[in-house]
Amino acid sequence: MIDILLSIFGSLLATGIISLFSFLVLRTKFNRCYKKAKFHLKRSHALEKARQYDDAFREIEKSIVILEENQNHKLLLEAYVHIGDIACKLKNWDSSIRYYTLCKESASNLKHSIDPDVLYFKLGIAFIGADLMDDAFICIDQARVIQEKINNHPLLAQTYSRLGEIEWNRGHLEIAIEHFLRAINCQEIIRDRRSQAATRTSIGDIYMEKNNIQESIQHYRIAIDLFQDAGDYSISKLLASKVNDLLASGNETNKVTL
């Protein structure tokens, strides 16, 4: 009886030791891979700061290969976003779309914490770069839905501006103006005069397309003052020259002086 018990105990002990050994081996491998992946991520950030985007892209690709093989999901999501950002800087829109999409799908399946509105916005920007405006609208409008539920969301002004650009590109001029005006409301709250000026200029350009010169000049004048307030004197001078040319063509004398 004692021999049987000792045999059972010995078998359990051996199994336990083997299991522990296997765990330690896997853990050691995981830690080694994690450190290697972190090294490539850190190096990619340094290369990105040095504006060596191609090298940064290759470094983070190495990190992604390691992380995908070893199922480090949280760090993998970070890597997907980072490589998507670098791809955007390289204007490699296909790669940025691919990696942002992988991040979105992985974050949804794994329920890891990542701001969905930021991810939708980034993906939308990549679609704009690829000239896929319908896809861009879906993503950025989804970001808008999320952001509008949060008071004074810091990205909402940019989101409205991008929606305005998309609708302008698609030829929906009145809807584009509506989005740009919403962007201005947000920009006024955060006192971003430079962005207000740029948005007013876009509205002025749209009215030029509509051949509504008076309305266009009105928005350009507001933009000139805002550029002046923001310290962008060279841009304000260029815009003032444009307004004066429009006034001269219409035989008006109420010119802009800076």
Residue 29 confidence (pLDDT) above 60: no
| Gap between the Cα atoms of 70 and 68, Å rounded | 6
Average pLDDT over every residue of 6-31: 51
pLDDT, tens digit (0-9, with 9 covering 90-100), for 76-94: 888 999 999 999 999 999 9
| Gap between the Cα atoms of 223 and 198, Å rounded | 7
φ, ψ for residue 11, nearest 5 deg: -65, -45
pLDDT, tens digit (0-9, with 9 covering 90-100), for 197-230: 999 999 999 999 999 999 999 999 999 999 999 9
Domains contained in the chain, CATH given: 1-114 (1.25.40.10)
Reported pTM: 0.80
Q: Residues near 126 by Cβ (< 8 Å), separated by ≥ 6?
A: 84, 87, 88, 93, 96, 97, 100
